[in-house]
Structure 1
Amino acid sequence: MAITRVFDLLPYNLDKFPMADMLAFKENGTWAKYATQNVTDTVNLVSYGLLALGVIKEDKVAIMSPNRPEWNFCDFGIMQIGATQVPMYPTLSDADIEFILKDAGVKVIFVADKEIYSKINSIKDKVSPDLVIYTYEKVPGAKHWSEVLELGKANTQLDLQQYRDNIQPDDLLTLIYTSGTTGTPKGVMLTHGNLVSNVLESSKLYPAEIKRALSFLPMSHIFERMVIYMYVYLGISIYYAQSMDTIVADMQEVKPHCFTTVPRLLEKVYDRIVAKGAELTGVKKTIFNWSLQLGLKYELDEKNGWLYELKLKIARKLVFSKWKEALGGDIIAIVSGGAALQPRLARVFWAAGILVLEGYGLTETSPVMAVNFPASGGTKFGTVGPVLEGVSVKIAEDGEILVKGPNVMKGYYKREDATKEAIDVDGYFHTGDIGEFVDNRYLRITDRKKEIFKTAGGKYIAPQTLENKFKESPLIEQIIVIGENERFPAALILPAFDALKDWCAKKGIPYTTREEVITNQQVIDKFKREIDRYNAGFGHWEQVKKFELIADEWSINTGEMTPKLSLKRKVILKKYDKLVQKIYQSA
């Protein structure tokens, strides 16, 4: 059967891969599994229920919840009657929630629990007194989403196929509000055709042996959502992690073949592995360090030579097999997106027999524009891989990456001005990222156009390139490089406090609180040496000359990071204004 709209994936899955565990979620200590037929039937009841509530084509229905099967039931139920789904991050601020609900004109919203319900209910009258809220978990005084299913059961006489037939590939599927690192949220309009094109082309590159996935990145973001649709298309079972805190335990139980992640989580996994290796003694420590150094020299496409391959076989048996066990034991591939991945991480995981496939895209491109894949010649470390089939990418004179293709959004909702600014007369979307082609095939991202800044001396600085390099230090957890219109680049650094604590213990330096330890001169001197070490690969004008250590981690909840874990530079600069002034006043 032809797949032209996203909901076509359900009958396709039912026909090709009827599964007992299409979706799975841990409830009351056991994994509740939902078969394809069960999922399809529940989705249809949601559609009938929404129609009974008076929801019609192009009406906006929101979902504000972490990943769980109900997210899928409602998502597919909304789309197959022609309504538009508006995904909302559970961590959004009240101001953003109010703006999105008003701007989109949301009629119905599904929320996860009491906390989110209270948040929405408290601003409901400001937005629209007619907004209907349903909860996935039982909340006293709130409507439960099962009421929609009951309404659906009472209205199955409606002809659902008639509604499906009325939906075209170019019709609006979803409205995703993206604030990025600056500004008021903009509603990205993505069609069925946008997502279908991305699903079909991305699926051609995915390892065929993968049959079971663990999902923990938020489906509110287009990256995870498109991948979930791809799993449905490929007949891959989807297991939802209970939370970000239970990922390791969930992996041990689910034993996934794959998962998607952002570089920050992969960095944490790697740092934890290295920290455990540092605790080893004697022969075990020697073997661990030898294996690690071997892995960091790994080359693709059988370029390592027979002697290296022999050594790698030993390293995989003695050391890297334990890495796989830590990820459940059956891991085949990890897809990384959302930000730049350190090339050494991809290299060492590939050496361990775990394919880390880095890709690139934006909400506006549904999202994948380019991605590394396992076939020979499909991956190059330090790049985001070849451009997706059917997508056209060119580099503008100023280095900006421009893209055109079936995956590019319809535009920004009610923002013709912003749409014209983003999509030129030739139909190319301006990504705001700076990049280049390597070997005329692989796309490399070098920085964000808006984040590149000029020093007072007129030199251009690409902060992400520097930040990515400095984060290779096991002592650096987070870093922001600053210096616009100043005489030199500087940095604010959050130490990796667990690693710092171990270092202090070895040096006999007292470790009390985070706030106190970052004022210790020996600690400051150690970070100076780390900065000097990683500065060495950059031109003199690019090098970080001064820095300040900070004690508090940046996060989505505290407002310094976007939901895909990019730095909100303006927010951070405003928050640490006094510290920034101190850096440049003392220079």
Structure 2
Amino acid sequence: MGEAPKPYFDTLPGLLCKNARAHGKKTALREKQWGVWQRFSWNDYLAAAAEFAGGLKKMGFGRGDIVILIGDNRPEWLFAELAIQALGGMALGLYQDAPAEEIAYILELSEARLVVAEDQEQVDKMLSLRQGLPQLAHIVYHDPKGLAGVNEPGLVSFEAVRDMGRDLAGQFPDWAAALSPDDPALIATTSGTTGRPKLAMLSHKNLLAMAHNLGLVDERRPSDEFVSFLPLAWMGEQMMAVASALLFGFTVNFPEEPDTVQDNIREIGPNVIFSPPRVWENLAARVRVKIMETTRLKRFLYDLFLPVGIRLADARFEGKKPGLGLRLAYGVAWFCLFRALKDRLGFSNVRSASTGGAALGPDAFRFFHAIGVNLKQIYGQTEISGISCIHRDGAVDFTSVGQPIPDTELTIAEDGEILSKSPSVFLGYYKNPAATAETLTDDGRLRSGDAGYFDDQGRLVVIDRVKDVMTLKGGFKFSPQFMENKLKFSPYIREAVVFGHDRDHLAAIVCIDAEIVGRWAESKALTYTTYQDLSAKPEVYALVKAEIAAINAKLAPQMRVARFVLLFKELDADDGELTRTRKVRRKVVGDRYGKLVEALYSPVCSMNLRAEITYQDASVREMCGELRLEDVEDRAAG
């Protein structure tokens, strides 16, 4: 007898059909509109996807075709994605704030003939690009506001496509049954830290194997609630809102607007939450800001009880059983502070909380574990369907990213690079066999580009990108990403880029958090007009210097940031300085601000800098200003 098929040997549309048969009336999706949560059952989900698939079929779409989706998180994105996949096509999601140049590049490379765009903003973007891309014949929108009088060839509403395909909707189960788990289902754009994004092709099996194996060590339940607020173009959101939700049958909720996410999370009370480090860092920073602005009693309770939570968290991190006194003190802290704080954040029901996409600093871990959120680090990449490692319950530490999930084999190459082998490893890059060959070894292992090692407990420790590990002039190796994460735990620092390769000491370009520093300035009666004006204030320099000095005090001398500058603009994805998932493009920043980096290692105390800012409409404006270069502590001459 042959080996029994794995539980994930299915397809995404096939699972949609199964869930509708087994739990037809159960809520599959919710969307908040006009202040009311709109409910979609599994039957509704299947009907919408089936009708849209029928419409696409009549429009001439089928096996091998790529359809692009762009916009905010809405049920229509999922309806369209499952419809495309049922016909044997591939869904390709784009970030809603992607610049026109990047979208044009992906449209041209993918040869997509149809785009599902959310609203007028995205439709206008596509219409402007279509002039140079004649193959883009159809643009489907699902928010009609502002489009009633627009009459463009190929422009059609989502509902019109559904109406067109309603008579074919009954064939959806047959289309789904004809699919193979090995068929390509999704094209995900890579983060593009080293240049233009590549298009990673992922099969149904890739996505569902990841969801199944992750669920074996981080439980998912059909009764779970999940709030989808991160871009569906991101692999992390695909693995939760699509693959895991279809495999385990839990409910996916869509917030009303990006500005209402925190309120909507509190209303839903999710059981599962997954976010990149910046979201967790922002949450922790905003709690501290709220505490600064609250009553004396609440500040007193926070200052009294947070250290109790930190001590309990540290004991657990070290594998120790907290003593009776500490447990009793934490019980009081829970009753007086942490219970209410978790509720305000919307985390009262959270059972599974994880972070990935980059490393999260120890201070952020301590904070969330202190208030009772069992936050775990995951590790992976787009090309392995999102995840290869995760912390296990009760074994969270600051150094590692946990152990491999089942069916995943990790090895370390001779040069220290992390290699992965699992059923979730992607099919290859679309129309880029050379890049595929560079990324996959001869035996099918995925090259991560990250340097790492296993600790004595078999947990993976990721040092940094292989190409980003730096060495001071004296031979001391350091990870700039580690230092950047330390700096960004300060509520006043939004981004930081650390330098020091072949130098005597570390230096940093720092971007303040305008909202939080602005509130601080107002509390000090400091007036300012713009971000540039605020970042140049001597008082703000003194504030950030004190923050960096406090961080330095906990680090080895070689790892301390000796000098910094506050940039007069935020690092921005539109300027190519960040990826759409807010990873620093280190080479771009180093090249663009090369003169500023050199100044940080010179005796000068200020310099005049010019920089270009690109807006989403592709217009460009030049900024210039005098920047102050600040010493944090004594340093050798650079």
Query: TM-score category by the smaller chain?
Result: over 0.9
**CA distance in structure 1 between the partners assigned to 2:361 and 2:512 by the alignment:** 18
1:344 and 2:358 matched: no
Instruction: Spell out the pairing of 1:178-577 with structure 2 (5 A cutoff).
Output: 178-207=190-219, 211-228=224-241, 229-280=243-294, 282-297=296-311, 298=313, 299-300=315-316, 303-328=321-346, 330-332=348-350, 333-374=352-393, 376-377=394-395, 379-455=396-472, 459-501=476-518, 514-577=531-594
Gaps of 5+ in 2: 1-6, 605-637
Question: What is the TM-score normalised by the length of structure 2?
Answer: 0.85
Counterpart AA for 2:601: Y
**CA distance in structure 2 between the partners assigned to 1:213 and 1:50 by the alignment:** 29
**CA distance in structure 1 between the partners assigned to 2:109 and 2:91 by the alignment:** 14
Q: Which residue of 2 aligns with 1:166?
A: 178
Query: Would the aligned equivalents of 1:100 and 1:177 in 2 still touch at CA under 8 Å?
Result: no
Q: Which residue of 1 aligns with 2:101?
A: 95
Range that drifts further, 162-171 or 317-326: 162-171
Report deviation, 1:240: 0.7
Report deviation, 1:389: 0.2
Sort the Cα spacing of 1:387 and 1:381 in 2 relative to 1 into closer, same or farther, 3 A. Answer: same
Sort the Cα spacing of 1:2 and 1:413 in 2 relative to 1 into closer, same or farther, 3 A. Answer: closer
Query: Would the aligned equivalents of 1:312 and 1:351 in 2 still touch at CA under 8 Å?
Result: no
Instruction: Spell out the pairing of 1:137-152 with structure 2 (5 A cutoff).
Output: 137-138=143-144, 139=147, 140-141=150-151, 142-152=155-165
Sort the Cα spacing of 1:177 and 1:472 in 2 relative to 1 into closer, same or farther, 3 A. Answer: closer
Report deviation, 1:505: 6.6
Counterpart AA for 1:146: E
**CA distance in structure 1 between the partners assigned to 2:94 and 2:522 by the alignment:** 44
Query: Would the aligned equivalents of 2:191 and 2:581 in 1 still touch at CA under 8 Å?
Result: no
1:524-562 CA-to-partner distances (Å, cap 9, x unmatched) read 344334323323444444432211012322233454221
1:217-238 CA-to-partner distances (Å, cap 9, x unmatched) read 1111111111112123223211
CA RMSD in angstroms comes to: 2.5
Matched position secondary structure for 2:208: helix
Matched position secondary structure for 1:492: strand
**CA distance in structure 2 between the partners assigned to 1:482 and 1:399 by the alignment:** 22
Counterpart AA for 1:328: G
Query: Would the aligned equivalents of 1:178 and 1:187 in 2 still touch at CA under 8 Å?
Result: yes
1:115-143 CA-to-partner distances (Å, cap 9, x unmatched) read 11111111113223453111111223231
Report deviation, 1:308: 1.3
1:489-509 CA-to-partner distances (Å, cap 9, x unmatched) read 211112234554565577776
Sort the Cα spacing of 1:45 and 1:3 in 2 relative to 1 into closer, same or farther, 3 A. Answer: farther
Sort the Cα spacing of 1:110 and 1:5 in 2 relative to 1 into closer, same or farther, 3 A. Answer: same
Query: Would the aligned equivalents of 1:215 and 1:260 in 2 still touch at CA under 8 Å?
Result: no
Query: Would the aligned equivalents of 1:331 and 1:354 in 2 still touch at CA under 8 Å?
Result: no
Counterpart AA for 1:350: H
**CA distance in structure 2 between the partners assigned to 1:63 and 1:581 by the alignment:** 43
**CA distance in structure 2 between the partners assigned to 1:200 and 1:241 by the alignment:** 26
Question: What is the TM-score normalised by the length of structure 1?
Answer: 0.92
**CA distance in structure 2 between the partners assigned to 1:281 and 1:162 by the alignment:** 62
**CA distance in structure 2 between the partners assigned to 1:124 and 1:40 by the alignment:** 32
Matched position secondary structure for 2:583: coil
Counterpart AA for 1:314: V
Counterpart AA for 1:331: N
Identity %: 28
Range that drifts further, 479-488 or 75-84: 479-488
Matched position secondary structure for 1:349: helix
**CA distance in structure 1 between the partners assigned to 2:46 and 2:392 by the alignment:** 31
Counterpart AA for 1:365: I
Q: Which residue of 2 aligns with 1:39?
A: 45
Range that drifts further, 561-570 or 10-19: 10-19
Matched position secondary structure for 2:582: coil
Q: Which residue of 2 aligns with 1:153?
A: 166
**CA distance in structure 2 between the partners assigned to 1:200 and 1:182 by the alignment:** 31
Query: Would the aligned equivalents of 1:422 and 1:429 in 2 still touch at CA under 8 Å?
Result: yes
**CA distance in structure 2 between the partners assigned to 1:367 and 1:21 by the alignment:** 26
The number of residue pairs the alignment matches comes to: 584
Gaps of 5+ in 1: none
Counterpart AA for 2:186: T
Sort the Cα spacing of 1:436 and 1:242 in 2 relative to 1 into closer, same or farther, 3 A. Answer: farther
Sort the Cα spacing of 1:166 and 1:517 in 2 relative to 1 into closer, same or farther, 3 A. Answer: closer
**CA distance in structure 2 between the partners assigned to 1:497 and 1:135 by the alignment:** 35
1:122 and 2:139 matched: no
1:177-228 CA-to-partner distances (Å, cap 9, x unmatched) read 2242121221111111101101111122334566212110111111111111
Sort the Cα spacing of 1:134 and 1:539 in 2 relative to 1 into closer, same or farther, 3 A. Answer: same
Report deviation, 1:358: 1.9
Counterpart AA for 1:355: N
**CA distance in structure 2 between the partners assigned to 1:508 and 1:95 by the alignment:** 43
Matched position secondary structure for 1:296: helix
Query: Would the aligned equivalents of 1:514 and 1:551 in 2 still touch at CA under 8 Å?
Result: yes
Report deviation, 1:423: 1.0
**CA distance in structure 2 between the partners assigned to 1:208 and 1:575 by the alignment:** 45
**CA distance in structure 2 between the partners assigned to 1:506 and 1:68 by the alignment:** 39
**CA distance in structure 1 between the partners assigned to 2:519 and 2:89 by the alignment:** 54
Query: Would the aligned equivalents of 1:347 and 1:381 in 2 still touch at CA under 8 Å?
Result: no
**CA distance in structure 1 between the partners assigned to 2:287 and 2:509 by the alignment:** 26
Report deviation, 1:465: 0.8
Report deviation, 1:63: 0.9
Counterpart AA for 1:189: M
Range that drifts further, 425-434 or 470-479: 470-479
**CA distance in structure 1 between the partners assigned to 2:377 and 2:24 by the alignment:** 30
1:456-475 CA-to-partner distances (Å, cap 9, x unmatched) read 55554310011111223333
**CA distance in structure 1 between the partners assigned to 2:384 and 2:417 by the alignment:** 15
Sort the Cα spacing of 1:16 and 1:510 in 2 relative to 1 into closer, same or farther, 3 A. Answer: same
Report deviation, 1:245: 1.5
Report deviation, 1:451: 2.0
